[in-house]
Amino acid sequence: MRVAVVVAAMLFCMAGCSRKEIRESVVVEPRESVTNSIGMELIEIPAGKFTMAEGFRTVVVTLTKPFGLGKTEVTQGQWKSVMGTEFWKGFDKVKADKDCPATYVSWENATEFCKKLTATERKSGKLKADEEYRLPTEAEWEYACRAGTTTAFHSERMN
């Protein structure tokens, strides 16, 4: 991947849609998948254009470059291997296991995770100088979550 690699929760999520509706609406096909040194699978999301609702108005958003997005949540094992911390420990109803999602992590902590992972991957030569791990922008997240819809709201059918 030539652009920034993004760490995020889920790749495709369309709240309120049945699985059949989701399958029928997928137009944005991921182009490649890469697994990094800590086992995170990153899916490349192609560049594209869509209409995003901003309050009572709509805005046409163009993403000019493809970007990588984590296929699943960052796991507790992945988090601990980079950060050495376990924010989820001690909370009721939180299963502690290396394959469970890392929870109770703040935005600041998630940003620090991205910075440390970037430094580690660059030092080992697995990440180019112009690549980085970061959180997705609002537009990138919405674009990926839409699973190919380009209308202002995910529930509007494409013709």
Residue pair 150/25 in contact by the 8 Å Cβ criterion = no
Is 146 a residue whose pLDDT tops 90?
A: no
Helices then strands, counting H and E runs in the chain, come out as 4, 7
Length of the chain: 159
Is 20 a residue whose pLDDT tops 50?
A: no
**Please, what's the b/e burial string for 67-90 (b: 16 or more CB within 10 A of its CB; e: otherwise)?**
bbbbbebbbbebbeebbeeebbee
pLDDT for 31 = 63
Secondary structure string (H, E, C) spanning 145-157: HCCCCCCCCCCCC
Q: Provide the whole-model pTM.
A: 0.74
Rounded mean pLDDT of 21-48?
73
Is 5 a residue whose pLDDT tops 50?
A: no
Instruction: Name the average pLDDT for the chain.
Output: 80
pLDDT for 155 = 60
Residue pair 137/102 in contact by the 8 Å Cβ criterion = no
Is 159 a residue whose pLDDT tops 70?
A: no
| 72 or 158, which is more confident | 72
Is 3 a residue whose pLDDT tops 50?
A: no
| 53 or 120, which is more confident | 120
Domain positions in the chain are 5-145
| Bridge pairing between strands 133-134 and 5-6 | parallel
